[in-house]
Structure 1
Amino acid sequence: MKSMLLSFSLLLFFFNVKGQSLYFPPISGDNWEETSFTELGWCADQLPTLYNYLEQSNTKAFIVLKNGKIVIEKYYDTFTKDSLWYWASAGKTITSFLIGKAQEEGLLSIEDTTATYLGNGWTSLTNAQEEKITIRHQLTMTTGLDDSGINFDCIQANCLTYLADAGTRWAYHNGPYSLLRTVLENASGNNINLFMTPRLKTPTGMDGFYLNYGTSSVYFSKPRSMARYGLLMLNNGNWDGNQLMNDVNYLNDMITPSQTLNQSYGYLWWLNGQSSFMMPSLQAVFSGSFMPNAPADVYAGMGKNGQILNISPSENLIVVRMGNAPGSSYVPNYYNDSIWQMLNPIMCSTSGTTAPSKLDLQIYPNPTEGQIHINGLDRQSAFTLYGLNGQLVWKKFLTGNSTTVQIPDHINRGIYFIQIKTEEAVFSQKLILN
């Protein structure tokens, strides 16, 4: 009997369900349901440390959603939930979504050359060099255009000079990215704000607008609008039953490594939990995750001065931060990671005070028809399959010598996250089920 109780306790530990059905706030009005620390089992005594850190780093707004409901919402100085602030480069993620919508509607293809929509001579390259640059290269920061010096933000042809063939070099470069707005507007015949309103803002209740700032196009909104966009992405492009993007492949590509040069970059989204990463202004490749204290499945929009949108499907968690963080980095990954260091003790019932160790496993094939093989697993564990919205789909207890897992036929084909968890460590990876 004692052995049976122990086994049952272990199963309860392994099969702790994180994903729950998502709550969506009303399209209009200020009503947004909240959930308490008590309900979640979080540690409220750790909150003052986070609040102090946010205040000391010039934060204006900070929001945490769990299962779509507000857990933390904090504003500083005279800033309120109705104040407008800029997204900086975190807004690149909206542009990525809008390009996907334009492709879904047949207005463009990301495989088209950029010159199709900007005309020949939009760069200083030869025609042969320029014709190699596609919209996909703009989305993935692989145009090969020179990103050095004062040319970083410039969109004039004399600033856009050749450094490498498109697709052969990754570099964070605002100039080619900013021209995606012109590509979208020329392809659709609409101003970007007019294009966005019926496709994204109205269905989700987002507010805000793109504003030209120098040569850049910057998005401004209230903090809760960033949270709304995060909730849409967490639910795989679906807002409370309304599928705003039907192209599942494009949605997956947005938050999947888009090239082999920088594993931690999708379509203008930063991807945690990869084997290596690159950062702006550097050609060095660093080993490991760019946010080791955050869940491995986090994908993020990050902008200068600490504009942050974090999404963790396995935790059903969204983190929004707006403000004026010190430092000049275009991508505040270190600051973002420091916020997760503060959040982990707060989420004491799920995340603990430190990031869990990572299992060193190999999963193949991926994509799969249903059966996958696991290399490197030598202990009892729980295998859990989550949907992109963080909901639990299927689970199985694995013995130490398990090497294969057969996913049941009744599970719909699509994109999932798998988690393999032991008492000491965890492994997470995206899985495509064909």
Structure 2
Amino acid sequence: MFKGLSLFLLLISFTVQAEQWPGEQWPAGPKIAGPAVEALEAYAFPTRDDNTRKGIRTDALLVIRDGQLIYERYAAATTADTPHLTWSISKSLMATVLGVAYGEGLFKLDDPAAKYYPVLEKHPAITLKDLLHWASGIDWQEDYEYAPLKSSVVAMLYTRGHRDMAAFTAHHDSYAPAGQAFRYSSGDSNLLAAALKTIVGPQRYPDYPWTALFDPLGIRHATWETDATGTFVASSYAYLTARDLARIGLLMERDGRWNDRQLLPKDWVAFNREPFAGYKANQDEAVPGGHWWLNRPAAGAASPWPDAPPDTFAALGHWGQVLYVIPSEKLVIVRYGDDRDGSYRHNELLKRVLGAVRP
């Protein structure tokens, strides 16, 4: 009996030792090479035209497998030490920060958002879950360069709403009942950032992303801008190096665990990766989960990234910022870019990365 127990404990010890985690640096794994990598680079790093800003313009590409760095390349002015603007990846970062607060027992998903952000009294039915699903029902136009005069997000970030972005959002009218319909909204994300201030308290709030998430993961150089009220711009303005963003990916790939600490509750990660039931499929679009994007087919549609495993999920940002997580392949992929014409395709990059890493 004792001999069998000793053997079992020895096997557990070997399993723990084999699991790789980054310290100050990422452990180096076997570098990928060969024709499949050349095909990947031909797609991700074509000749770059900085005059027209057309075509695929990758700033950084990093691949982690089994917790080890196996591929890394940078372009233009970006280096391994450059905190890159993540744009809407910031939304998934806020969801991850909120997950730590959820694990502290500070809120429930079905809590009314107005409980933590009273400016939302105009919309009493909205829950925190609704905001995480981009399903607040608040009328919002998420238009960018192609319709700036009608854009709610441009007004929020740059003109009349920029000093207090959450209040600007809260004062919009509703177009649908809360929780019923998906409408992508940077405003919903900034309402979450404002609610977090009450959830954790004003004393903890300015440092909370660092003490709750960045510091435990060894992220040392993150910047997260605030508006004039001191509220984090959860929609847009977090800056991380590619190596640091990959730490967020590894945390999510391992179901919220970091070394021997369950930093995010497993049920929080499961919620992030569960499709929003009210989503109506659009062709080739990832499916919204809890402020993450999923490679899951919605009703009547094919998988958005058919060459990637169905458990693939991602944080997505404007102009080609992406953090992909593929638990079944033990893969984390960070891709930063400066794409301006929409030519980049998620499925194509994922297909080529998988072709390069699979035997």
Could you say which residue in structure 1 is the equivalent of 2:317? 303
1:348-384 alpha-carbon deviations (Å, 9 max, x no partner): 52xxxxxxxxxxxxxxxxxxxxxxxxxxxxxxxxxxx
Alignment deviations for residues 12-50 of structure 1 (CA, whole Å, 9 cap, x no partner) = xxxxxxxx9531111x2x35322233xxxxx61222232
Partner of 2:266: 248
The verdict on how the C-alpha distance between 1:233 and 1:193 changes in structure 2, with shifts beyond 3 A counting, is: farther
The change in CA–CA distance for 1:193 and 1:293 in structure 2 (over 3 A counts) is: farther
| 1:394 paired residue number | none
- Secondary structure of the residue that 1:228 maps to in structure 2? helix
- CA–CA distance in 2 between the matches of 1:22 and 1:76? 31
Cα deviation for residue 158 of structure 1 reads 7.3
Cα shift readout 1:315-341 (whole Å, capped 9, x = no counterpart): 11111101212236xxx9x62212123
User: 1-side partners of 2:135 and 2:327: how far apart?
Assistant: 27
- What is the SS of the residue equivalent to 1:108? coil
Cα distance change on mapping 1:270 and 1:34 into 2, 3 Å = same
TM-score normalised over the length of structure 1:
0.65
User: What are the Cα deviations for residues 192-222 of structure 1, in whole angstroms up to 9, with x where unaligned?
Assistant: 5511222211211113121137965521011
Query: What is residue 297 of structure 2 aligned with on the other side?
Result: 274
Instruction: Show CA shifts across 1:116-173 (max 9, x none).
Output: 12214x37xxx4xx11111111000111111233224634157521101001111111
Q: String of CA shifts for 1:298-324, please: whole Å, max 9, x gaps.
A: 011111111111111111111110121
1:254-269 alignment, distance < 5 Å: 254-262=272-280, 264-269=287-292
Which runs of structure 2 are paired with 1:261-340 in the superposition (5 Å)? 261-262=279-280, 264-276=287-299, 287-327=301-341, 335-340=345-350
Aligned Cα RMSD in Å? 2.4
Tell me how far apart the structure 1 counterparts of residues 311 and 101 of structure 2 sit (CA, whole Å). Answer: 27
Deviation at 1:242? 1.9
Partner of 1:32: 27
30, 42, 46: which one aligns with 2:36: 46
Q: Would the alpha carbon gap of residues 147 and 97 (structure 1) be closer, same or farther in structure 2, given more than 3 Å must change? A: same
SS at match of 1:141: coil
TM-score normalised by L of structure 2 = 0.77
Amino acid at match of 1:151: S
Deviation at 1:234, TM superposition (A): 1.0
Cα 1:230–1:193 shift into 2, 3 Å? farther
Secondary structure of 1:310 counterpart: strand
The answer for unaligned runs of 5 or more in structure 2 is 1-16, 47-55, 142-149, 157-164, 282-286
Output the CA distance in 2 between the equivalents of 1:201 and 1:237: 13
Contact 1:210–1:217 (CA<8 Å) still a contact in 2? no
Query: 2:135 matched to 1:142?
Result: yes
The residue number in structure 2 matching 1:170 is: 182
Which secondary structure state, in structure 2, belongs to the residue aligned with residue 64 of structure 1?
A: strand
CA contact 2:136–2:179 (8 Å) conserved in 1: yes
Does 2:219 align with 1:206?
yes
The one-letter amino acid paired with 2:310 is: A
Larger radius of gyration between Structure 1 and Structure 2 = 1
Q: Among all aligned residue pairs of Structure 1 and Structure 2, give the percentage whose two residues are the same amino acid.
A: 25
2 CA distance for matches of 1:262 and 1:274? 11
Structure 1 gap ranges (5+) = 1-19, 38-42, 277-285, 350-434
Q: State how 1:230-245 maps to structure 2 within 5 Å.
A: 230-245=249-264
Q: Which amino acid aligns with 2:293?
A: W
- SS class of match (2:319): coil
Structure with larger RCO (C-alpha < 8 A, sep 6+): 2
> Secondary structure, in 3 states, of the residue corresponding to 2:151?
helix
More helix by share: 2
C-alpha distance in structure 2 between counterparts of 1:335 and 1:298, whole Å: 15
Is 2:181–2:278's contact at 8 Å kept on the other side of the alignment? Answer: no
CA distance in 2, matches of 1:347, 1:34: 12
C-alpha change, 1:136 and 1:108, in structure 2 (3 Å) is: same
Name the residue aligned to 2:152: 151
- Mapped partners of 2:354, 2:109: distance in 1: 38
The alignment partner of 2:225 has SS state of strand
Structure 1 counterpart of 2:225, one-letter code? L
In structure 1, the partner of 2:10 is none
- Map 1:35-434; keep pairs closer than 5 Å: 35-37=30-32, 44-56=34-46, 57-120=56-119, 122=120, 127=122, 130-148=123-141, 149-152=150-153, 154=156, 155=165, 156=168, 160-190=172-202, 192-207=205-220, 208-212=222-226, 216-245=235-264, 247-262=265-280, 264-276=287-299, 287-327=301-341, 335-349=345-359
Q: Which residue of 1 aligns with 2:159?
A: none
Give, in whole Å, the separation in 1 of the partners of 2:18 and 2:95: 26
Larger mean Cα displacement after TM superposition, 173-182 or 104-113: 104-113
Aligned letter for 2:22?
A: P
1:86 CA drift (Å): 1.3
Query: CA shift at 1:262, angstroms?
Result: 4.9
